[in-house]
Amino acid sequence: MYALSSHILEKQGIPFEVMLPLIDETAGKVHELSPVQAQTGPAVRYDENVISKHLEMLADEEPLQELYEKISKSIHHLPLSAVPVNEGKNNS
């Protein structure tokens, strides 16, 4: 996923390093929350406006568009209510 992100950002003239704070924050969350609980973003809320804009940005990358759509839908359909509150917490 990092390689794909780097590829997409590079095409826009954006250095991959802009992603590092988000990557660090996301990685840190799973020390306290389960991966499902830590998941945020337009896919969780299925924000069609944001998702549509992202898909437009990938217009010349059909395989990435399809991947983005599939991942977004699968994230949106994760059963958040089925995850126990302390699952994934570091109990040491």
Question: Would residue 90 count as lying in a domain?
Answer: no
Q: What CATH number is attached to the domain comprising 64? A: 1.10.1040.20
Show the tokens assigned to 23.
């990557």
Whole-model pTM? 0.73
Do 1 and 22 reside in the same domain of the chain? yes
Q: What is the predicted pLDDT for the residue at 79?
A: 77
Q: Domain range spanning residue 62? A: 39-78
Do 74 and 43 reside in the same domain of the chain? yes
For the chain, the average pLDDT equals 87
Question: 84 vs 8, 55, 75, CA distance in Å?
Answer: 35, 33, 17
Question: Would residue 89 count as lying in a domain?
Answer: no
Above 90 in pLDDT, residue 15?
Answer: yes
Question: Would residue 92 count as lying in a domain?
Answer: no
Q: What is the predicted pLDDT for the residue at 38?
A: 87
- Sole residue written with tokens 């590829």: 7
Do 45 and 73 reside in the same domain of the chain? yes
Do 53 and 73 reside in the same domain of the chain? yes
The pLDDT tens digits of the residues spanning 43-77 come to: 998 899 999 999 999 999 999 999 999 999 999 98
Q: What is the predicted pLDDT for the residue at 51?
A: 95
